[in-house]
Each structure stands twice: as structure tokens, then as C-alpha cells.
């Protein structure tokens, strides 16, 4: 009989018992003169000693403004040094940082400010085509808890950052903190209804950042190019906290993702690690291709050793190109979700190419995972698909002020149900084959879009592919492929794609419809909005001649 799909993570290194502020202080004491933060857009740099001074000034300013332990402080801005300071300053005084998506508009902003009960909002004045100041003014009358608004660069921000630090006062505040205190609320980007506020503790996110960094082999010699947004766990935990727990440096290449600026930052700052979601790496690889085709010399990326690809399913072919073209021989795939701080599974630096391209790795230290039958809740044998669940230090405290949704996500045994379909092999490696809600049932056959997407990546003219189910009167659902073509390639039609698939995929897995696009509907973190794609596809297929 096959072993059950269960694994527990062991490790020689114990869990950290620090608060975020306490851990930062220890790193500063160990590496005061090492570079800690580089903000390329503004040309500014900080050593760990200088970073500590900046964080303590903001912490003192928040305290002087009346912010107390447990108060919610929102931050609404693109990636910048100020975001970094606020992250650590709120942790130092026990305020709860509320991350606000830079892409939010007024209705979403109003919901988050009200649901979290934000007392102070720190925000950029504007970003791209978003006038944050105007949107805040519009929503503020409907947010009675919001007492203070601080725009970056304003006199109010200057007062926060120039406060005279009282070390005894900060030490006294630190003494009142517990590692299990809530310290961060991150709103999940749900596709239906209002987002839910995953509430995370010092213990949750500090340890997750630390152990992600441990598995990447980080030391004080590393320089991490953090591309994903700080408002997301990928940026602020896997990036910032992984760095500061190891004395490494964070390099911010730009306020938001730009493939050329990212590659330039890696080259100029001699970054050893590079982060991104798969779509970001696809764009960076495309940018390198454009360099070569133009005859220019590409940026020197020889400093890269490792990095992380995560945030959404990582196509095998893309992973192989990242290793080959970017020289990231030790690149890791991480799997997780906001509710688990976020990482629960990670590939290792010494894993072979097969494991680092076909799976998301093994369970992380001090965590447990299991794969269960969604219908019965029983653990399935290894090799069989089921819902992935995780348990341990990383599981959130709960959804902010929402006991019902918390109970629906975390069962009585404290297992977090991810909603993802996974398969565990005999060695404990896990492959994610899709979302339970994304599974397509075509004529009674269960079809997992991820499998078809991986196959479509092998087509020489396809840059990126996403597969969804659309209504069909005969089969219940049919498959539709959205594809992005490589530059200069002929546009695919459904007949041509079917010809490519015949004999290689079972007939019921071959997409009936093809839609060629320049871009997919995306969240700001680079996740594809499949729900929106389905809505658009239904409208598109109502038009004639759309096969």
C-alpha cells in the first residue's frame, strides 16, 4: 500500500523567538556597516546602521502621533524605501501594518480602510495614473476610524521621519510586545466578493522570511533584487524579511516592475538573487532576446546565483530558460499563499533539474503538509491528486474580524485548506496541478488546465498560455486557450493549435477555442485573473465565427 500524502519538515535550526524589531536590532549589531537597502529610483542607499536610524525615527514619529500597540496603520504606495521604513517601524511599536494594493480604486480603498479600522494612512501622493491624494479625499468622509493621513514627501511625513529618537521609550514599547501579536493584515485578491484580511503575527512572517532565506543559502554577502510589490508577502516577507534576518541587502530596481530596469539593477548592483512571478521572468527573458536580436551587448548578469520564482504556477519551460539564460543555477520555486505567511513548500538549491522544474519542492522546516480528498477530508495515497493543506507556525491567526471565513479556511486541527490540487511523490516532492475551482469538467472528464498550459509552452511560437473552461451545451464545458505569441510569429488559430496537439494530448484535453492576446488580465502581483478571462470569453464566444 502506498504511503499517505503527508510530510513534516525537519531542520537543525530552531524557530526564531524574536519580534521583527528585535531581530532587526540584532542584525544591525552584527553588520552595522554592511549595505542594507538600495532604492535605485531615488539613488539613495543605507547601511544597516543608517537603516536602523531611519526606522527608529519613523517609529518614534508614529508613537508621538498617538499610534499605539494594536492600532492599524495603512500603507498605500509602490515599492520605495519609505514603504520599507514603515514596515519595520510599525513592527517596532506593535502597530498593525495594513498593506493596501497600489492598484486599488476608491471603492476598494474605502472597504479596506473601513474593514481594518485604519487610524493612520501613509500614502504616496500619486503613482502612474492614480491620484492617491484625490481618492483619499473622496473616501475619507466614509471612514470614521481614519484620523490621520500622511502623504510621502509632505510636511507630515517630514515630522514623522525627523522625530528625535528616545531609545528608552522604544525599548519600553518593545518590552510590551509578544511574538504572537498580530502585526500585519494583508488583503487577499479574491476573484469574487470583498477581499479577506489575512492577519499575521511577528512569529508568522519573521520565521517564514528567515527559513525561505535559509533554503536560498543567504548570508550577509547576498544582494536581493526584490521586484514583486512590497504590499504582497512575496515582497515584504520573502524579500525584505529574508534579507534583514541574514544581513543581506535589498535592491529596489524600480517602483513597479520594469524588465529593463530590473536587469540593469541586477548588473549595476551585482545582485546575487532575483525575484519574480513567472510573467515577470517571461518579460525579462524577452528583453534579453531583444538585446541579442539588436546586436547590443546584454547586461552582465554573471553575479546572479539564486532567486525565487513564485506567486503563480511556474511553467517548466520558463524555469529551464531562467536557469540557462540568466545563470540562476540555484533558483528556487516557492509555493504558498498569503494565509501561510506565505511559503510552505520550496525547492532546494541542490535539487536536480527535474525536481526544480516539475515540482514546487518539499515542505519547509517546522511545517506540515498533507493532500486530502476534498469530499471526505481523508489523506490520499502518494501519487493521487487532492487538496493541499498546510499546518504549523506559518498559518495566519485568522481573517480580520471574520470568524466565519476563518473557520471555513482553517479546520479544527489547524490545517489551512489551500484550494489547490497537488500530488505528492514517493520522496515528498509536490506538484501543483491546478486550483479546485479551475478544474474543467468536459463530458464527465476532469481536466486540469495546468497540464495543458505546460504542453502549450513547448510550442515554439507561444510566449505564454492560459487555459480556461467555457460553457458548452453538449459537454457542459469546453476548453479555451488564451495565448501570447512571440514577436514576429504567425498568429495561431484553433485549427493550427489542434494540429499541434493531436497525438500528444488526449482528445478531450485539446482546446476547442483559441484567443490570441497581447496581454492577459492580471493582478498587480502578476497573477492571471482567470475569472475575468472566463467572463470575457463567454462574451467573445457569443459572437459568430470565434473558433
Pick the closest to residue 287 from 253, 251, 326, 317 (CA basis).
Answer: 326
User: How far is the C-alpha of 105 from the C-alpha of 127, rounded, in Å?
Assistant: 12
Q: Are 106 and 138 in contact (CB under 8 A)?
A: yes
CA dihedral 506, 354, 305, 523 (to 10 degrees): 30
What is the residue whose three cell numbers read 506567486?
A: 311
Query: Could you tell me if residue 178 is left (phi over 0), alpha (psi between -120 and 50 degrees) or otherwise beta?
Result: beta
Per-residue 3-state assignment (H helix, E strand, C coil) for 410-431: ECCCCCEEEEEEEEECCCCCEE
Q: Are 99 and 109 in contact (CB under 8 A)?
A: no
pLDDT score of 193: 60
| Cβ atoms within 10 Å, residue 2 | 10
* pLDDT confidence of residue 192: 45
The string over 345-366, giving b where at least 16 C-beta atoms fall within 10 Å of a residue's C-beta and e elsewhere, is bbbeeebeeebbbebbbbbbbb
How many residues belong to the chain?
A: 547
DSSP 8-state symbol, 492: P
CB count, 10 Å around CB of 473? 6
Query: Between β-strands 96-99 and 182-187, what pairing exists: parallel, antiparallel or unpaired?
Result: parallel
Q: Is 446 helix (H, G, I), strand (E, B) or coil?
A: strand
Residues 240/209, Cβ–Cβ less than 8 Å: yes
pLDDT, residue 485, reads 94
| Neighbouring C-beta atoms of residue 260, cutoff 10 Å | 15
3-class DSSP string for 352-367: CHHHHHHCCCEECCCE
Residue carrying the nine cell digits 491546478: 434
CA-to-CA distance for 452 and 455, rounded, in angstroms? 5
CA distances from 38 to 42, 75, 83, 252 (A): 9, 20, 13, 6
Domains, in order of start, for the chain: 19-421 (3.40.50.12780), 440-541 (3.30.300.30)
Which among 101, 99, 88, 24 has a CA at the least distance from the CA of 58?
88
Task: Tell me 381's DSSP state.
Answer: B
Residue among 197, 228, 210, 206 nearest 99 (CA): 197
What is the C-alpha separation between 158 and 154, in angstroms, rounded? 6
Residue 277 sits at φ, ψ, to 5 deg, of -80, 165
Angle in degrees, CA 357, 284, 352, rounded to 5: 20
CA angle 320, 326, 331 (to 5 degrees): 60
pLDDT of residue 117: 98
Phi, psi of 285 (to 5 degrees): -65, -40
Please state at what angle helix 20-30 crosses helix 81-93, rounded to 10 degrees.
120
Give the number of other Cβ atoms within 10 Å of residue 8's Cβ.
Answer: 14
Distance, CA of 362 to CA of 352 (rounded, Å):
13
Residue 445, SS3 per DSSP: strand
C-alpha cell of residue 473: 451545451
Of the candidates 253, 245, 256, the one whose C-alpha atom is nearest the C-alpha of residue 269 is: 253
- Residue 147, classified by CB atoms within 10 Å of its CB into exposed (0-12), middle (13-18) or buried (19+), is middle
pLDDT tens digits in sequence order for the chain, 547 residues long? 689 999 999 989 999 999 999 999 999 999 999 999 999 999 999 999 999 999 999 999 999 999 999 999 999 999 999 999 999 999 999 999 999 989 888 988 999 999 999 999 999 999 999 999 999 999 999 999 999 999 999 999 999 999 999 999 999 999 999 999 999 999 986 544 678 999 999 999 999 999 999 999 999 999 999 999 999 999 999 999 999 999 999 999 999 999 999 999 999 999 999 999 888 999 999 988 887 777 776 689 999 999 999 977 777 788 889 999 999 999 999 999 999 999 999 999 999 888 988 899 999 999 999 999 988 999 999 999 999 999 999 999 999 999 999 999 999 999 999 999 999 999 999 998 888 888 888 887 778 788 899 899 999 999 999 999 999 888 889 999 999 999 889 889 999 999 999 988 888 899 999 999 999 998 766 778 888 999 999 999 987 555 5
Whole-angstrom Cα distance, residue 202 to residue 206?
A: 6
- DSSP E strands in 40-95: the ranges are 44-47, 72-76
pLDDT in tens, 89-112: 999 999 999 999 898 889 889 999
Q: Which residues contact 229 (CB under 8 A, 6 or more apart)?
A: 78, 79, 101, 102, 235, 256, 524, 525
86 Cβ contact list (under 8 Å, min separation 6): 58, 73, 75, 97, 122
Rg (CA), the chain: 23
Nearest C-alpha neighbor of 56 from the set 151, 205, 160, 152? 160
Q: What is the pLDDT of residues 226-269, one digit of tens each?
A: 999 999 999 999 999 999 999 999 999 999 999 999 999 999 99
Amino acid at each position: 500500500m502506498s504511503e499517505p500524502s503527508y510530510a513534516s519538515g525537519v531542520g537543525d535550526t530552531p524557530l526564531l523567538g524574536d519580534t521583527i524589531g528585535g531581530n532587526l536590532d540584532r542584525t544591525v549589531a552584527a553588520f552595522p556597516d554592511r549595505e542594507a537597502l538600495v532604492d535605485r529610483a531615488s539613488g539613495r542607499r543605507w547601511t544597516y546602521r543608517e537603516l536602523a536610524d531611519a526606522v527608529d525615527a519613523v517609529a518614534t514619529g508614529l508613537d508621538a502621533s498617538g499610534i499605539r500597540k494594536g492600532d492599524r496603520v495603512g500603507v498605500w504606495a509602490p515599492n520605495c524605501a519609505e514603504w520599507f521604513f514603515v514596515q519595520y517601524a510599525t513592527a517596532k511599536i506593535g502597530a498593525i501594518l495594513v498593506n493596501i494594493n497600489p492598484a486599488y480604486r476608491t471603492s476598494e480603498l474605502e472597504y479596506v480602510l473601513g474593514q481594518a479600522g485604519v487610524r493612520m494612512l501613509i500614502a504616496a501622493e500619486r503613482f502612474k495614473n492614480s491620484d492617491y491624494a484625490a481618492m483619499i479625499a473622496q473616501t475619507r468622509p466614509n471612514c470614521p476610524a481614519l484620523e490621520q493621513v500622511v502623504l510621502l514627501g509632505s510636511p507630515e511625513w517630514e515630522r514623522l521621519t525627523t522625530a528625535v529618537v528616545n531609545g528608552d521609550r522604544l525599548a519600553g514599547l518593545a518590552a510590551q510586545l509578544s511574538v504572537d501579536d498580530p502585526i500585519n493584515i494583508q488583503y487577499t485578491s479574491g476573484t469574487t466578493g470583498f477581499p479577506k484580511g489575512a492577519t499575521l503575527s511577528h512569529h508568522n512572517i519573521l520565521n517564514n522570511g528567515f527559513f525561505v532565506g535559509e533554503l536560498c543559502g543567504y548570508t550577509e554577502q547576498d544582494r536581493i533584487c526584490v521586484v514583486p510589490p512590497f504590499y504582497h508577502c512575496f515582497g515584504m516577507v520573502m524579500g525584505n524579511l529574508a534579507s534583514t534576518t541574514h544581513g543581506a541587502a535589498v535592491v529596489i530596481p524600480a517602483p513597479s516592475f520594469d524588465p529593463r530596469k530590473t536587469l540593469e539593477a541586477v548588473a549595476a548592483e551585482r545582485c546575487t538573487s532575483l525575484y519574480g512571478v513567472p510573467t515577470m521572468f517571461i518579460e525579462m527573458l524577452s528583453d534579453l532576446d531583444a538585446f541579442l536580436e539588436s546586436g547590443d551587448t546584454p547586461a552582465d548578469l554573471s553575479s546572479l546565483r539564486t532567486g525565487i520564482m513564485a506567486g503563480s504556477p511556474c511553467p517548466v519551460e520558463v524555469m529551464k530558460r531562467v536557469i540557462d539564460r540568466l545563470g540562476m543555477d540555484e533558483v528556487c520555486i516557492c509555493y504558498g499563499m498569503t494565509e501561510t505567511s506565505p511559503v510552505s513548500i520550496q525547492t532546494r538549491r541542490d535539487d536536480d533539474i527535474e525536481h526544480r522544474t516539475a515540482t514546487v519542492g518539499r515542505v519547509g522546516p517546522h511545517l506540515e503538509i498533507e493532500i486530502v480528498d476534498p469530499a471526505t477530508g481523508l489523506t490520499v495515497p502518494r501519487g493521487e491528486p487532492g487538496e493541499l493543506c498546510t499546518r504549523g507556525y506559518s498559518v495566519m491567526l485568522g481573517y480580520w474580524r471574520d470568524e466565519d471565513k476563518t473557520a471555513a479556511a482553517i479546520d479544527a486541527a489547524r490545517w489551512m485548506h489551500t484550494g489547490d490540487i497537488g500530488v505528492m511523490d514517493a520522496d515528498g516532492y509536490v506538484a501543483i496541478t491546478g486550483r479546485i475551482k479551475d478544474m474543467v469538467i468536459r463530458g464527465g472528464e476532469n481536466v486540469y488546465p495546468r497540464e495543458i498550459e505546460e504542453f502549450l509552452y513547448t510550442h515554439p511560437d507561444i510566449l505564454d498560455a492560459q487555459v480556461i473552461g467555457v460553457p458548452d451545451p453538449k459537454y457542459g464545458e469546453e476548453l479555451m486557450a488564451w495565448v501570447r505569441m512571440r514577436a514576429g510569429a504567425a498568429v495561431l488559430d484553433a485549427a493550427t493549435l489542434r494540429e499541434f496537439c493531436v497525438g500528444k494530448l488526449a482528445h478531450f484535453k485539446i482546446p476547442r477555442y483559441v484567443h490570441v492576446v497581447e496581454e492577459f488580465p492580471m493582478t498587480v502581483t502578476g497573477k492571471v485573473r482567470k475569472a475575468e478571462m472566463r467572463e470575457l470569453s463567454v462574451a467573445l464566444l457569443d459572437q459568430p465565427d470565434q473558433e
